[in-house]
């Protein structure tokens, strides 16, 4: 069976390894182009590309999925495309190209939180339950029929990073079985209930700005949701103050460390003094 894998972040290499060890090693990896990275702005390849090179697997790194890429893919007879955090819109003709279509991992219990930030949105809303969905992709965002779905607890200490890691670990385990069921025509597709659909948009750097007078529960949720990026910050005397360490004690949002604009990391108590 010929599978193409679309993915870009570092964690997607774990999925590639799982597919390889399960007998579903992709014949092609599609990922983002090399980008400048680090202080020296050195051109750096996405880790899925490095993995593919190490495993002698063909790689495509298009800026966009246009005619040239479609013609290249059309030279082969594909059975399935697997999409996990690819980072680009996939045109409908690409989605429909493989024999069994295209499947995608989404980090919510669809149709809830369709869009780019389902994990962040669950934490911001204070949800105690979230989960993963593997859907059969359609061109309209996150509207495809559900082929696998599983609930997962959201702990009070979960951040976007830890919750997504738990979701990936579970999805990584079930993905080969889902693919096997697809190839054996044993998968059940369930249409989403449009009346229950909710949406979540992209997060901007400005979303990380807070007021120290904000509700402590809201501050804690933002702190956990925006771990990694954009983080939390506030302004004092016209300068941006970035929060680097904090916790919620059940009543108060306690700031422990900050980095004042143009300065070094200090304890919050020292900063206040």
Tell me, what's the pLDDT at 96? 97
Tell me, what's the pLDDT at 9? 95
pLDDT band at 39 (very low <50, low <70, confident <90, very high): confident
pLDDT in tens, 206-228: 999 999 999 999 999 999 999 98
Task: Provide the edge-to-edge strand list for the sheet that holds 80-83.
Answer: 58-60, 28-30, 3-6, 80-83, 102-106, 129-136, 146-153
- Domains in the chain, start-ordered, CATH in brackets? 3-199 (3.40.50.170), 205-272 (3.10.25.10)
Q: Is 3 left (phi over 0), alpha (psi -120 to 50) or beta?
A: beta
Other CB atoms within 10 A of residue 268 CB: 17
- Whole-prediction pTM: 0.94
Which residues sit opposite 239 in a β-bridge?
236
Helix (DSSP H) and strand (DSSP E) numbers for the chain: 8, 15
Average pLDDT over residues 245-266: 95
């Amino acid at each position: 069976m010929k599978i193409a894998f679309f993915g870009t972040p570092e964690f997607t290499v774990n999925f590639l390894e799982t597919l390889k060890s399960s007998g579903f090693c992709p014949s092609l990896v599609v990922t983002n182009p090399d980008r400048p990275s680090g202080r020296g702005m050195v051109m750096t390849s996405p880790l899925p590309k490095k993995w593919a090179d190490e495993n002698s697997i063909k790689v495509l790194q298009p800026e966009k999925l246009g005619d040239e890429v479609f013609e290249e893919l059309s030279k082969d007879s594909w059975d399935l495309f697997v999409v996990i955090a690819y980072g680009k819109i996939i045109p409908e003709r690409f989605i429909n190209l493989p024999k069994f279509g295209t499947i995608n991992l989404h980090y919510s219990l669809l149709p809830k939180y369709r869009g780019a930030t389902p994990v962040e949105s669950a934490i911001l809303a204070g949800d105690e339950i979230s989960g993963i969905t593997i859907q059969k992709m359609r061109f309209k965002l996150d509207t495809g029929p559900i082929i696998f779905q599983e609930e997962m607890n959201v702990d009070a200490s979960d951040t976007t990073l830890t919750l997504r890691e738990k979701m990936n670990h579970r999805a990584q385990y079930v993905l080969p079985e889902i693919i096997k069921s697809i190839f054996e025509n044993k998968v059940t597709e369930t249409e989403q209930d449009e009346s229950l659909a909710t949406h979540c948009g992209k997060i901007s750097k400005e979303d990380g700005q807070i007021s120290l007078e904000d509700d402590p529960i809201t501050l804690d949720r933002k702190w956990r949701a925006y771990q990694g990026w954009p983080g939390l910050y506030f302004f004092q005397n016209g300068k941006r103050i970035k929060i680097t360490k904090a916790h919620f004690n059940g009543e108060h949002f306690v700031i422990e460390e900050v980095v004042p604009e143009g300065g070094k990391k200090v304890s919050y108590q020292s900063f206040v003094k």
